[in-house]
Structure 1
Amino acid sequence: MTDDTRDGAPVSIGELARATGIAVRTIRFYCDEGILESRRSAGGHRMFDAETAVERLLLVRRLRALGLGLESITDVLHGKWSINEAVAAETARLDAEFRALAWRRAALRALDSDGPVRRDERLTLLAAVSDADAAHEGLVRFWRGVLAPIPRAEVDVFIGWNVPEPPADPTVDEIVAYAELAALITDSGLHGAVRQQLWRTRPETVRDGPELYAAVGAVMTDVVPLISSGVAPRGGRELDRFVGAHATARGERDSPRFRARLLIDGPDTDRRIDRYWALTERLLGPRITVGRAHRWVYDALAYSADSAVN
């Protein structure tokens, strides 16, 4: 800088370029974008406050070096965002970008790992889940429809426990499992089958859906430790509570006949349901899902019915 620049005298665009190492055309662009302020001399040339302009340009260069976009930088310079907020937003953007790249890489590896005979089939499957977030949102919508009219807060709890998030860095097996899961819910028949499993009959025959859901949910919660301990499905307190909840919801009594109806009315052996929960558990790891708890209760109900006959 010249002595005049250090004394606070306005500087030309050329002097500013020499002081900062930033090209004149770039400084002009920053002026046009409202990033840098200037005023015109009597001769019509751009003039800048040396100290302010140098500080601002150096800050812009450092933020650009970190990958921040001009829109975010402008918001920082105009006081709409702090530097920390801008950096946090850029970090979140990069995280999302890395997740998307990891998802694409896994999809390509999954396609490459399959033999030519099944490649077209797998390509179709994987192409349907090219957007991991959209695939997850599809699963969430599926369960919101199945669980209606259960209150939103309770549905969110169910989804949080039973609906897998897309893996951040999926393996080939994980992305194929997620793709198959997303494909399964496009079968309109699965929606009806899962609703029937939940309500055991037409939902309109139930007096209070949310109350039945809460009562059955409490049973499922108590069944989980039994499954964890390796307890085989059997009659007992948990099954009695399950049957009692359904009987109460319909204004009926627990009886062998009612239990037989519950056994017939639920599509628990539907292969699509079994496959859905097998894929879900593969993605969730050791977590015991409500699907497995439902299956335990169904098997206990079948055992109870067989015992009553024999």
Structure 2
Amino acid sequence: MSSDGLLSIGELAERAGTTVKTVRHYSDRGLLPEAGRSSGGHRRYGPEALDRLRLIRSLRTLGLPVPEVERALDRDDALEEVVTGQLRKVGSQLAALRWREASLTLLRDCSAEERAERLRLVGAVPAPPDTAALVRFWRRILPARLPGRVVSTVLDSVVPGLPREPSPGQVLAFARLHALVTDPRLDRVEFRSAPPLPAGTYRPEVLYEELAVAYASASSAQRAGLAPGDGEALDCFVSAYAQASGVPDTPAFRQRLVGLLARSGGPVIQRYWKLAGGLFAPDEPVLGALHHHLSVALQAQVTGRTD
């Protein structure tokens, strides 16, 4: 240290446990301000530069790129923001690695005959995986003029989130689900359904809003250990279709509704829910299963079956 208390670039590097080249690099980028220059033009740094250099090195050791370090040092309240952003990025990277690990385990723990098909399925899924294809699938199915807020609510309910720690079985289910919704043959399938019942004025937004109430009631009953189609949930379910069609809930209406529900959905939707069911969190309601239970309960009520 010189008599004026300033450090040369070599002294600063030695005290910080780094190289002169590194100190010069940070200085040239403006991360490490100089206190002045010697008579020979050499850089000089104040004592505070050592703390700043150690902070820079700590942030770099944690994986922050230099531009993010610059942003963290730019103002006093930026460090927390930068660290939070880095945490989100690391979380995404960890989720991708867990998905990759489960995918590799899936391919390892299967027969040679299964491996070729599974490799094709897993290889067709984006890396890292996302649910964009599932969202496009449902947007194609939902009524064309459904309000945006209703569409968002429906999508939140029917598109499962990706498990953060997937099992090999969940990876396979998602890969098969992705293959289902991206199958080019779906271009020849007409998904948008006609109004649920011919009588009355069909209002799809009412149907989806009221079905959400019915599914919530059925889910509550299920958590309480009751059959999802018991009591209030079934009445809410039927009422959703009646209100959307502008007709009263009568025994005759329920009879017609049984016929409608028997014709709705189709094999693609049934396959979707079979594959998607295991991807929802344990505490999340699976709407496909709830819809099936309510439909079966209505059929039993109308036909008088008790089995």
| AA of the residue aligned to 1:177 | A
Q: Which residue of 1 aligns with 2:132?
A: 137
Residue 267 of structure 2 corresponds to 271
Amino-acid identity (%): 32
1:179-231 Cα distance to aligned partner (Å, 9 max, x none): 222222224379854x539x5369xx854221222223323333334555453
Check conservation: 1:281, 1:287, Cα contact below 8 A: no
Kindly provide the amino acid, as one letter, of the partner of residue 176 in structure 1: L
- Aligned AA (1:140): V
State the Cα distance separating 1:174 from its structure 2 match: 1.3
Q: 1:121 aligns with which of 113, 117, 122?
A: 117
Number of residue pairs aligned between Structure 1 and Structure 2: 297
Name 1:249's counterpart in structure 2. 244
Counterpart CA distance in 2 for 1:132 and 1:223 is 34
SS in 2 for 1:196: coil
Give TM-score, length-normalised by structure 2: 0.79
- How far apart are residue 145 of structure 1 and its match? 4.3
TM-score by length of 1: 0.78
The match for 1:216 is 211
Whether 1:77 and 2:73 are equivalent positions in the alignment is: yes
The one-letter code matched in structure 1 to 2:13 is A
Specify whether residues 132 and 161 from structure 1 end up closer, same or farther in structure 2 by C-alpha distance, changes over 3 A only: farther
- Contiguous gaps of at least 5 residues in structure 1: none
Give 1:165 shift.
1.5
Q: Which amino acid aligns with 1:32?
A: D
CA distance in 2 between counterparts of 1:61 and 1:25 reads: 13
**What SS is found at the alignment partner of 2:60?**
helix
2:87 matched to which residue of 1? 91
Distance 2:38 2:219 in 1: 79
Deviations 1:233-275 (A, max 9, x none): 68x7655554454344334455676555544444446333233
Classify the secondary structure of the residue corresponding to 1:18: helix
The answer (yes or no) to whether the contact 1:37–1:48 under 8 Å persists in 2 is no
The separation in 1 between residues aligned to 2:52 and 2:120, in whole angstroms, is 51
Separation of aligned partners in 2, 1:180 and 1:189: 18
Q: Does 1:111 align with 2:140?
A: no
Instruction: Give how far 1:176 is off.
Output: 0.9
- Residue of structure 1 in register with 2:27 after alignment: 31
Alignment partner, residue 8 of structure 1 = 5
Q: 1:303 aligns with which of 279, 300, 305?
A: 300
User: Do the aligned partners of 1:185 and 1:191 also contact (CA within 8 Å) in 2?
Assistant: no
Deviations 1:42-79 (A, max 9, x none): 54x34223223222212212222222221111112222
* RMSD across aligned positions (CA): 3.4
How far apart, in 1, do the equivalents of 2:209 and 2:90 lie?
A: 41
Where does residue 22 of structure 1 map in the other structure?
Answer: 18
1:243–1:254: 8 Å Cα contact kept in structure 2?
Answer: yes
Q: Which one has a larger percent helix, Structure 1 or Structure 2? A: 1
* Cα distance change on mapping 1:147 and 1:66 into 2, 3 Å: same
Q: Give the unaligned 5+ runs of structure 2.
A: none
**8 Å Cα contact 2:213-2:236 kept in structure 1:** no
**1:217 counterpart letter in structure 2:** A
Instruction: Please name the residue that 1:293 is paired with.
Output: 290
Match of residue 64, structure 1, among 55, 60, 64: 60
Equivalent-residue separation in structure 1 for 2:207 and 2:265 (angstroms): 22
Kindly tell me: are residues 106 and 232 of structure 1, through their superposed partners in 2, closer, same or farther at Cα, counting changes over 3 Å?
A: closer
Q: Deviations along 1:21-51, whole A, 9 cap, x unmatched?
A: 32111122212222222355554x3422322
Q: Is the 8 A contact 2:218 2:228 kept in 1?
A: no
1:102: how far off?
0.8
State the one-letter code of the partner of 1:218.
Answer: V
Q: Judging changes above 3 Å, is the alpha-carbon distance between structure 1 residues 299 and 28 closer, same or farther for their aligned structure 2 residues?
A: same
